[in-house]
């Protein structure tokens, strides 16, 4: 499924599969730096990175899934592959919605994640990482998270 806007490839490293030490080893100096480095790759149209004490997740938009997977595999080359969860386009979108709703959190439904998503979104926006594909997915994840908490 290739669209003119591109497709999302994602990787999630979280408390569900990784140890605290593995999470710390995979953490970037900053979300902004990670987005800037990803955007420096000619094939990456958009990039979003969220890292918390319980997760490091990267989403990129490229022309094709294979190129996206290659870039993410290289980015996480030091992390054991069994610890990573690779996410295709649709799965990335579903996962972002689950993260926003707190369903992927250590404490089910915790609300700190919404602020962390907003901060990561702003970091990515400032580094020119957000375009039409990720903007739509991330803003929906925030709205779903807000709605899940109010209803």
Whether 105 and 113 have beta carbons less than 8 Å apart is answered as yes
CA–CA separation, 127 vs 14, rounded Å?
A: 24
**Given the DSSP bridges, would you call strands 85-87 and 55-62 parallel, antiparallel or unpaired?**
unpaired
| 52 has catalytic annotation | no
Looking at 20, 25, 53, 107, which residue is catalytic? 53
**CA triplet 80, 84, 89: central angle to 5 degrees?**
145
Residue with tokens 């030091």: 78
40 CB neighbour count, 10 Å cutoff: 9
**Enzyme catalytic residues:** 53
């Amino acid at each position: 499924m290739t669209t003119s806007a591109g497709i999302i490839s994602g990787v999630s490293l979280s408390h569900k599969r990784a140890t605290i030490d593995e999470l710390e080893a995979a953490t970037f100096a900053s979300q902004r730096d990670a987005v800037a480095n990803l955007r420096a790759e000619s094939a990456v149209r958009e990039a979003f990175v969220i890292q918390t004490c319980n997760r490091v997740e990267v989403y990129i938009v490229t022309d094709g899934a294979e190129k996206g997977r290659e870039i993410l595999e290289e980015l996480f080359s030091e992390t054991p592959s069994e610890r990573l969860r690779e996410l295709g386009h649709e799965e990335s979108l579903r996962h972002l919605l689950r993260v926003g709703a707190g369903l992927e959190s250590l404490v089910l439904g915790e609300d700190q994640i919404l602020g962390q998503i907003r901060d990561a979104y702003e970091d990515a926006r400032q580094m020119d990482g957000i375009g039409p594909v990720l903007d739509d997915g991330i803003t929906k994840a925030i709205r779903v998270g807000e709605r899940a908490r109010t209803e």
